[in-house]
Amino acid sequence: MKITLDINKFQEIIKKGYSLDVVFMLANVEILGTLSNESTKISTLVQSLIRKGLITDNGEKLTTLGEDLLKYISIEIEENDKTNNGFVPFVKKKIVCEDFERWWKEFPSSDFFEYKNRKFEGCRGLKVKKDDCAVKFNKLISEGKYTAEEMIEALKLELQRKMEMSVKTGENKLSYMRATLSYLNQDNLSFVDEIRKGAKVNKQDDIEYGVNG
């Protein structure tokens, strides 16, 4: 990949806390695993890229932030795109916090629920460690593994399937639901593939969570 790193871009990435080591490693992400095995210093740099959110935890690919930074240092900037100072600043895309709040709102507060005029008793709280969940949710989005909409719709689909099965069998299937942080720490989020294949959440009857008796 051609790197077009002029003095303005160099000053910009330094101001954002990145170095020329970062530039090289992002441009050669496919060999980072091999390099890490051969050098402790490079292994430390790889861990730094992971902490900065530029590559995924396994070090095998760029996150969306990493892709944006590499694109910034690899493309020619048209004159009419430049600011009055003669260069285009690198702007980190912000993850919309409202997306996490939407996901959090959809998650049941406990495994007790009332659905289709049936009450299913429960004993577990399911919403835990909200701040940690927000960090994990944003990390999954930044890695490009899922979109926020996929995560929200997949959660809604899973809940609907569990409640429908509960009504059908008489057993509370929501009792098998993982709590929020454990849910997000799964290797693969349930039902995302179905959402990607076109599965839709049906219009639901009124649902009540978290009130026993």
Q: What is the per-residue pLDDT across 133-182, written as a single tens digit (0 to 9) for each?
A: 888 888 888 777 788 999 999 999 999 999 999 999 999 999 999 999 99
- Whole-angstrom distance, CA of residue 148 vs CA of residue 152: 6
Burial 5-23 (b: 16+ CB within 10 A, else e): eeeebeebbeeeebeeebb
- Whole-angstrom distance, CA of residue 18 vs CA of residue 28: 16
Band the pLDDT of 210: cuts 50, 70, 90: low
Q: Phi then psi for 56, rounded to 5 degrees?
A: -70, 165
Q: So what's the pLDDT on residue 155? A: 94
User: Alpha-carbon dihedral of residues 49, 54, 58, 61, nearest 10 degrees?
Assistant: -130
Task: Look up residue 119 and give its DSSP letter.
Answer: E
